[in-house]
Each structure stands twice: as structure tokens, then as C-alpha cells.
Amino acid sequence: MLRPATDEDRDAMLVWRNHPQVREVSLTQHEIGADEHAAWWESTKTRSDRAVYIYERGGIPSGVVTFFDLDREAATSWWGYYLDNDGLTERGELLPAWIQIQREAKRLAFGELGLHTLEGEVLAANEAVRQFNRRNGF
């Protein structure tokens, strides 16, 4: 399930985003500080060209989907996502969550958000995600 992110999700999003495995495959790879994250969140939550959702698996917050450069008139957006790698790994649910978050994000993008085009970037070295994206129609 995807639901809009709230202020209560802010700290968890930072922990998940700073996980070494997440940073390693992100365009921004430095460890994000609390002040930097707080400023990002304060700006993001009020912008019409961004939408942030929390992915819940079994009722447990487990990841983030971000739509950015969201143009509702043109029905286009860029997107990215990351998961609570540690929590999902402990529960033995990382791979199924990875599959589900992408499917739910696509459903939300082309359904509720009414998008026609969804763009994303993947680092060339992140071959696992590149292959996974191809399998899912990206």
C-alpha cells in the first residue's frame, strides 16, 4: 500500500535513505544530515511538483516513493524509490517488497496521478535494478 508521507514519517525516511546500500545506488551518495533532510522535507511537502508516498508492507512503513518534476498538466513525472533494507531483510521480505513497491508506484502514477509518462534514472553500475526495470516495462 502507498499512502502520502507525513511529518511523522520524516525521521524514518532519513534512516532508510542513509542506509549504505541505498546510498550506494543513489544519485546523491553522501550521508544526508538531519538539517539537510529537514530542509528537503519542509520544501518538498508544500511543492506541487513533488509527491512523496510511504510504502507499507503488512501495515509496517517500509519504503518511500518520490515523484518529482511532476507536471500534472503534461501528465509527466520523474520518480525514485527506496526501501527499509534492514527491516525488510530481518523479516525476509526485501525481494517481495522490491517487486511490490514498483508495481504499486506504477499503478499510482498511471491511475490516481493520471500520468502518461514516468521517467527515472538508474546508475549504469546498478545492473540488478536496470534488469528489474526492463522486466517491469521501463
CA distances (Å), 66 to each of 77, 87, 91, 92, 122, in order? Answer: 10, 20, 24, 24, 14
Q: What is the pLDDT of residue 6?
A: 97
Q: What is the pLDDT of residue 25?
A: 83
Query: Do 76 and 82 contact (CB within 8 A), yes or no?
Result: no
Q: Model-level pTM?
A: 0.92
Q: What is the pLDDT of residue 52?
A: 98
| Burial (0-12, 13-18, 19+ Cβ within 10 Å), 128 | exposed
- Listed residue (70, 102, 91, 73) closest to 2, CA to CA: 102
Please give the grid coordinates belonging to residue 133. 526495470
- Listed residue (130, 106, 118, 125) closest to 55, CA to CA: 106
Q: Length of the chain, please?
A: 138
Please give the grid coordinates belonging to residue 44. 518538498
pLDDT in tens, the chain (138 residues): 999 999 999 999 999 999 999 888 887 889 999 999 999 999 999 999 999 999 999 999 999 999 999 999 999 999 999 999 999 999 999 999 999 999 999 999 999 999 999 988 776 677 777 777 677 666
- Listed residue (26, 28, 16) closest to 125, CA to CA: 26
Q: What is the pLDDT of residue 128?
A: 73
| Burial (0-12, 13-18, 19+ Cβ within 10 Å), 28 | exposed
Buried b (16+ CB within 10 A) or exposed e, 67-96: beebeeeeeebbbebbbbbebbeeeebbee
Q: What is the pLDDT of residue 1?
A: 94
Q: What is the pLDDT of residue 138?
A: 67
